[in-house]
Amino acid sequence: NAGVTQTPKFRILKIGQSMTLQCTQDMNHNYMYWYRQDPGMGLKLIYYSVGAGITDKGEVPNGYNVSRSTTEDFPLRLELAAPSQTSVYFCATQGQPVTEAFFGQGTRLTVV
């Protein structure tokens, strides 16, 4: 089992470009999350999903969009990249609410 797979691992974007960060899980978990981690900071929740077809905003959703058409996939879309979106992005899954989350290896994004 691969667990949680994020692609790409690294990406450099120019201001105004768009991209999709991919996240796929093979754990059959209903709960999925997108976090960002800025240097020296903790993880901030961008968006989350409690099941296919259901998404909701987290703490820092501005500039991002998500979709959840299947249990396995939870892509994160950046429409107009800005330098403030330079960060490391982590996707995570969770089987039940009161359990631990499983994280992908992260995507390091730089916007120049």
Amino acid identity of residue 24, one-letter, is T
Nearest to 20 by CA among 39, 6, 33, 30: 6
Q: How far apart are CA 112 and CA 11, in angstroms?
A: 11
Q: Which stretch binds other proteins (CB under 8 A): 12-20, 62-70, 77-85, 88-96?
A: 88-96
11 is a site residue for other proteins (CB under 8 A): no
Residue 64 structure tokens: 């991002």
Minimum Å gap between C-beta 97 and other proteins is 4
| Binding footprint of other proteins on the chain (CB under 8 A) | 4, 31, 33, 35, 40-45, 48, 50, 58-59, 90, 92, 94, 96-98, 100-106
